[in-house]
């Protein structure tokens, strides 16, 4: 004889049956293209089926417990899952012109994330050049910089943008000199040092080592001597051994316990010296003008004076608090009373004597 059930008990049993059927179906039909409601209605239970919300993971509910157990069983089965093709994923409307939430599904998001994190990383060009710079910086300061420190340090340099670009070009080994011109028809003569060719009538291949540190006719030695003297006036630290690797890695030069901004001052001095030598080279090789050995030093002095003057004048347009902080920083950076005299009327003046 059929037992009379209350309305609430009848609904609960109906939900238990539906959950049990749904979980049973999941054991045999799992995959990204499975339409669960359609299969359950048409294949598993031909009678009318209604889907209603039931509280999940309710241990007191028999249907819930069985559904969880069957779902775990289906998850642990070694059933191959059919994956969507790459072409279909790339052409999906959710990935065109940004992700539209109404068309975006979890599998598309997951696939895009996997592709992003597994894409091939481009090899860092000129890594040998960066490693050489790291070695020289470590030898001078005891600290070994990373690639990120080298590259991002250039952006943080307190120098004009065109000089930042030049230092970045040096670091990545893209300075156009020597062998670069030897491969270009009609420009083969530019492969030789213009200073040595004009003054001594000898052809020496213009490598970066020769350009920045070895040429006896460009005035680079006098410029470096001036920079070294300015350094000794501003600090008690030793002048580091000047070499090509150190020059390339200038942006990452950092000293421990640097309370007087010696690191920043050294970065500026080296960058400006390199730029002064480069300007002399351009003047004689491109503009075809004579450059005396002392002219490179004069260019350097002009660059340093111009940089300090512009930095100081820029503080006049700042708010009072910011103005005082910036001026205090400049006084420390340029070693007030040791290297630079800050006159209230005439402005800052570097002592080059």
DSSP structure class, residue 82: P
Q: pLDDT averaged over the chain?
A: 81
Secondary structure class of 342 (helix, strand, coil): strand
Beta carbons of 155 and 164 less than 8 angstroms apart = yes
Question: Rounded distance, CA 140 to CA 155, Å?
Answer: 22
Burial class from Cβ neighbours inside 10 Å (0-12, 13-18, 19+) for residue 342 reads: middle
Q: Percent of the chain, pLDDT > 70?
A: 76
Beta carbons of 284 and 290 less than 8 angstroms apart = yes
**pLDDT tens-place string over residues 283-307:** 998 888 888 889 999 999 999 999 9
Mean pLDDT of 41-56: 61
Question: In this predicted structure, which of 26-40, 189-203, 261-275, 298-312 has the lowest mean pLDDT?
Answer: 26-40
Which of 278, 35, 53 is CA-nearest to residue 176?
A: 278
Question: Rounded distance, CA 176 to CA 178, Å?
Answer: 7
Length of the chain: 353
Burial class from Cβ neighbours inside 10 Å (0-12, 13-18, 19+) for residue 250 reads: buried
Work out the widest C-alpha separation in the chain, in whole angstroms. 122
* Residue 87: predicted pLDDT: 67
Burial class from Cβ neighbours inside 10 Å (0-12, 13-18, 19+) for residue 330 reads: buried
Which of 165, 166, 200 is CA-nearest to residue 277?
A: 166
* Residue 125: predicted pLDDT: 65
Domain ranges of the chain: 7-78, 127-350
* Residue 86: predicted pLDDT: 67
* Residue 28: predicted pLDDT: 43
* 229 or 22, higher pLDDT: 229
Question: In this predicted structure, which of 16-25, 121-130, 196-205, 314-323 has the lowest mean pLDDT?
Answer: 16-25
Has residue 14 got a pLDDT over 90? no
Q: How confident is the model at residue 176 (pLDDT cuts 50, 70, 90)?
A: confident
User: Residue ranges of the alpha helices (H) in 190-290?
Assistant: 194-200, 208-209, 220-234, 244-248, 262-285
Question: Rounded distance, CA 195 to CA 186, Å?
Answer: 20
Q: What is the pTM of this model?
A: 0.65
């Amino acid at each position: 004889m059929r037992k009379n059930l209350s309305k609430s008990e009848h609904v609960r049993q109906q939900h238990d049956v539906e959950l049990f059927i749904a979980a049973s179906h999941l054991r045999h039909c799992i995959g990204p293209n499975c339409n669960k409601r359609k299969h359950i209605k048409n294949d598993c239970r031909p009678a009318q089926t209604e889907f209603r919300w039931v509280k999940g993971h309710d241990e007191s509910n028999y249907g819930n417990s069985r559904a969880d157990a069957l779902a775990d069983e289906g998850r642990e089965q070694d059933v191959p899952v059919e994956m969507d093709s790459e072409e279909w994923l790339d052409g999906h409307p959710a990935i065109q012109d940004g992700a539209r939430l109404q068309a975006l599904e979890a599998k598309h998001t997951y696939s895009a994330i996997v592709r992003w994190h597994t894409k091939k990383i481009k090899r860092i060009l000129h890594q040998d050049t960066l490693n050489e710079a790291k070695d020289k910086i470590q030898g001078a300061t005891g600290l070994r910089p990373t690639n990120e420190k080298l590259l991002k340090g250039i952006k943080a340099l307190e120098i004009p943008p065109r000089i930042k670009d030049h230092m970045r070009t040096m670091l990545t080994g893209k300075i156009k000199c020597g062998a670069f011109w030897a491969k270009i028809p009609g420009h083969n003569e530019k492969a030789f040092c213009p200073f040595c060719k004009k003054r001594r009538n000898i052809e020496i291949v213009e490598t970066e080592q020769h350009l920045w540190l070895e040429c006896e006719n460009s005035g680079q030695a006098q410029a470096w001597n001036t920079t070294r003297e300015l350094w000794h006036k501003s600090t008690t630290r030793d002048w580091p051994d000047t070499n090509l690797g150190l020059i390339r890695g200038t942006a990452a030069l950092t000293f421990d316990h640097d309370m007087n901004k010696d690191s920043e001052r050294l970065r500026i001095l080296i960058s400006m010296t390199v730029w002064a030598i480069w300007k002399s080279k351009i003047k004689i090789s491109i503009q075809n003008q004579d450059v005396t050995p002392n002219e490179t030093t004069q260019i350097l002095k002009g660059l340093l004076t111009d940089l300090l003057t512009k930095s100081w004048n820029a503080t006049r347009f700042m708010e009072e608090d910011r103005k005082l902080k910036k001026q205090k920083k400049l006084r420390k950076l340029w070693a007030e009373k040791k290297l630079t005299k800050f006159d209230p009327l005439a402005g800052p003046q570097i002592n080059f004597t």
